[in-house]
Amino acid sequence: MAQLGVTIGNLQLSNPVLTASGTFGYGEEFSDFIDLDRLGGFIVKGTTLEPRQGNDYPRMVETPSGMLNAVGLQNKGVDYFIENIYPRLIKYSSEIIVNISGSSVDDYYKVAEKLNTLPRINAIEVNISCPNVKTGGMAFGTTTSGAASVTKAVREAFDKTVIVKLSPNVTDITEIARAVENEGADAVSLINTLMGMAIDVERQRPYLSTYTGGLSGAAVRPVAVRMVWQVHKAVNIPIIGLGGIMNGRDALEFILAGATAIEVGTANFINPAATVEIVKYIDDYCRRHNVNDINQLIGII
């Protein structure tokens, strides 16, 4: 077996394969299909200070090679996570990363501060790029000042690894990446969903209750690979690449473009075992290409 371990901030991952927030529940939903301990780690559902009911149904529509969603961060809040979900997750040995979101800088600070007390949570992923909530979310991720202010607050509240998840819905993603790097982010993950829209022409109505939603799936992959490649040239912190990774080949595209680790998202819905198949593919790939350490492949394009 090739050396597949990678480092993100202070996180030592046994392999570069993570799961994308919002596509993997709390991990447990997938335990019938895969051994969660074979993942580098898993990133659980977006968590906010207060419980959120999310948006009205319909929240999802399939589109060519992808899907639009407008879930709107439905979750039971950070306190519920700490009391009821965290105790169930600590039996897994792979890293558990919590994705956090808020509608004010203070929200982000408070959620990060609460999670900082949990010994098994060694990293948080800060969502400044959700296109499906009215306040906050993407608003912070589309300006350098907004992204910087959230990163600064979370950096103060959380002693361990801080990953900032970037929005692709910007003119120049590299300037946002540099802004969060300057405020002390340990890593960036990209891309979140691309804002999109689909219309039912027979009924002359949008498919989603919110009209617009976030596009994910294979359709977004070339955009994501391009952005990872651009950001890799612009910052010195590690990049976690995601966006339409359906299999091991796709994962390697991101690694070659500059990603130290990758997240598997929408593919989990179609193949609940996609993650572990990707780990195996990467190992086989390294052997085929006489690579004894995955780190030798990162960003060679």
Partner 1 sequence: MLKLTPLDRGISLSDMNIRPGQFVQVKTPDNATFLRRPISICNIDFFSNQLWILVRDAGNGSRAIMNSPVNSKLNIILPLGNGFAVDKSGPSPILIGGGVGVAPLLMLGAELKERGIQPTFLIGARNKEAILLEKELSAYGPVFVSTDDGSYGSIGLVTQNPVLDNNFSSIYCCGPLPMMKAVAKIASAKSLFCEVSLENVMGCGIGACLCCVEKTTEGNLCVCKEGPVFNINKLLWHN
Min. distance of Cβ 219 from partner 1 in angstroms?
A: 8
Among 218, 225, 239, 257, binds partner 1 (CB under 8 A): 218
Q: Which is nearer to partner 1, 59 or 178 (CB)?
A: 59
Which residues, at least 6 apart from 286, have a Cβ–Cβ distance to it below 8 Å?
2, 4, 292, 294, 297
Instruction: Give the position of tokens 């993100």.
Output: 8
Q: Which is nearer to partner 1, 45 or 232 (CB)?
A: 45
Does 24 engage in binding with partner 1 (CB under 8 A)? yes
Among 67, 89, 115, 227, binds partner 1 (CB under 8 A): 67
The stretch among 25-33, 105-113, 155-163, 256-264 that binds partner 1 (CB under 8 A) is: 25-33
What length does the chain have?
A: 301
DSSP code per residue over 167-179: PS-SS-HHHHHHH
Among 5, 7, 60, 283, binds partner 1 (CB under 8 A): 60
Question: What is the layout of strands, in order, in the sheet containing 194-197?
Answer: 60-63, 66-69, 212-216, 194-197
Among 4, 8, 11, 22, binds partner 1 (CB under 8 A): 22
Dist. CA 189–CA 155, nearest whole Å = 16
Instruction: For residue 130, indicate whether it is catalytic.
Output: yes
Helix axes 248-257, 274-288, angle to 10 degrees: 60
Helix axes 144-157, 173-182, angle to 10 degrees: 30
The single-letter code of the amino acid at 229 is: W
Q: Which is nearer to partner 1, 127 or 260 (CB)?
A: 127
- Which residues are designated catalytic? 130
Write out the residues near partner 1 by the rule CB under 8 A. 22-25, 29-30, 45, 53-54, 56-67, 69, 71, 74, 217-218, 268-270, 272
